[in-house]
Chains A and B, each alone.
Chain A
């Protein structure tokens, strides 16, 4: 069995990464998981978090992604993220932007709690919490972004 597989990280606007890798650690909605060559074909949705990619030479690269899903097959991993940034590019400004969006969504959903149902509100709260955790993890302050009223 080959010891590497193809990893693609694509956002709606462009293909961000396409490299051979040894393993990919993913923040799945139901819990983290690691994909390695020969993984059973799986489709997993993601929560906002860090994706760690271990390259063919053992080097590790990290990407911050917000939501999306991954298609894993035996010899490839395709990550479709709404937004994806290499960790080095995760500045406070980019993060503020993400936080602001998560907060806006949360507020919007909270406003119509009665019509959309409890599940949707819970999902938005969880998204916000995940987003905060992501910021804390990479050393950015989640409280700097402000939501326009």
Chain B
């Protein structure tokens, strides 16, 4: 049975914890709004890009001269996994879910006898993957200095990925990130970016026939494919940023609620022991008086 003093200290410290988690929750909520706005603002560009790409790829896919970024290297042996996580923890299962998905992929690919290379974005994923897959790391992108994810960040990552592709380091690149469904739901997602995935449905293909292309279709495609990779990475980074804040908000909301419950329980216990102590003292006084 802890003493009254212990209980009081305990309650005090849990109250402090609750203040901190509450503050973190509110900070996450504010940042979430900003991240969502950023994701929203980036959408028109990504949508247009996707629409134009859909038209172009549908036409080019069949031809033998299709660029390698679209058609692939013809092999499926070396895989690059780009794992995007956050720089900071205390975000519930945010990082673990991405890492888990990446790990499943890596294990499956290695089971099939394929080569796997891993590129990490954000510190947390690197820490979690280091022990098991440390030898597979090819690069790490440090985002700790980045306050707001900009297109430049995505470009830098895309340039690195494209350079490796040009150098023949891998055949297939997949990015891992958390898709933002809602504040309480983020879905870990694996998305293949190289070779570009064909959009489903041929409606887009029909529309492209109406366009004139200047310079030629192939030149435009060659120009757009790298940009499209950067755009997809940028979109993933933004979704990830929003998801991180959403996950943190939910986690901190839970933590705040748990702390509240704990305080209630401890307070009840504290009051009981105090009452017990008083009763005990009274009994001692009364029995002392009776003995006289």
Binding site for B on A (CB under 8 A): 8, 10-15, 28-30, 33, 40-45, 68-69, 71, 78, 80, 82, 115-116
Interface mask (B29-70 → A, CB under 8 Å = 1, otherwise 0): 000000000100110111011001000000000000000000
**CB of B213 within 8 A of chain A?**
yes
Residue with the greatest number of chain A CB neighbours at <10 A, chosen from B38, B154, B227, B231: B227
Contact check, B45 vs A10: say whether CB atoms are below 8 A apart: yes
> Which chain B positions have C-beta within 8 A of A45?
214-215, 219-220, 223-224
Contacts A12-B234, A45-B223, A69-B220 given: A40-B48 contact, CB under 8 Å?
A: no
Contacts A8-B44, A12-B151, A78-B48 given: A43-B231 contact, CB under 8 Å?
A: no
Contact check, A41 vs B212: say whether CB atoms are below 8 A apart: yes
Binding site for A on B (CB under 8 A): 38, 41-42, 44-46, 48-49, 52, 150-151, 154, 166-167, 210-215, 219-220, 223-224, 227, 230-231, 234
12 sample A-B contacts, Cβ–Cβ < 8 Å, listed by A number: A11-B45, A12-B45, A13-B41, A13-B42, A13-B151, A30-B214, A43-B52, A43-B211, A45-B219, A45-B220, A68-B227, A80-B49
Extra inter-chain contacts (17) besides given A10-B48, A13-B150, A42-B213, CB under 8 Å: A8-B44, A12-B230, A13-B41, A13-B42, A14-B41, A15-B45, A41-B211, A41-B212, A42-B211, A43-B213, A44-B213, A68-B227, A69-B52, A80-B48, A80-B49, A82-B227, A115-B167
Contact check, A82 vs B52: say whether CB atoms are below 8 A apart: no
Q: How far is the CB of A148 from chain B (nearest CB, A)?
A: 15
Contacts A28-B214, A42-B214, A82-B227 given: A11-B219 contact, CB under 8 Å?
A: no
> Which chain B positions have C-beta within 8 A of A71?
48, 52, 211
> Which chain A positions have C-beta within 8 A of B38?
13
Partner of A30 from B48, B150, B151, B215 at Cβ < 8 Å = B215
Report the nearest B residue to A39, measured CB to CB: B212
> Which chain B positions have C-beta within 8 A of A78?
48
> Which chain B positions have C-beta within 8 A of A40?
212
> Which chain A positions have C-beta within 8 A of B154?
12
> Which chain A positions have C-beta within 8 A of B150?
13
Contact check, B45 vs A43: say whether CB atoms are below 8 A apart: no
Partner of B214 from A11, A44, A80 at Cβ < 8 Å = A44
Q: How far is the CB of B223 from chain A (nearest CB, A)?
A: 5
The 7 closest A-B pairs by CB, nearest first: A12-B151, A14-B41, A42-B212, A10-B45, A44-B214, A10-B44, A41-B211
Bound: A146/B44 CA distance, A = 34
Report the nearest A residue to B213, measured CB to CB: A43
> Which chain A positions have C-beta within 8 A of B220?
43, 45, 69
Contact check, B224 vs A69: say whether CB atoms are below 8 A apart: yes
Report the nearest B residue to A81, measured CB to CB: B45
Contact check, B52 vs A41: say whether CB atoms are below 8 A apart: no
Bound: A46/B224 CA distance, A = 11
> Which chain B positions have C-beta within 8 A of A115?
166-167
Residue with the greatest number of chain A CB neighbours at <10 A, chosen from B41, B49, B150, B214: B214
> Which chain B positions have C-beta within 8 A of A28?
214
Bound: A62/B231 CA distance, A = 25
Bound: A42/B48 CA distance, A = 14
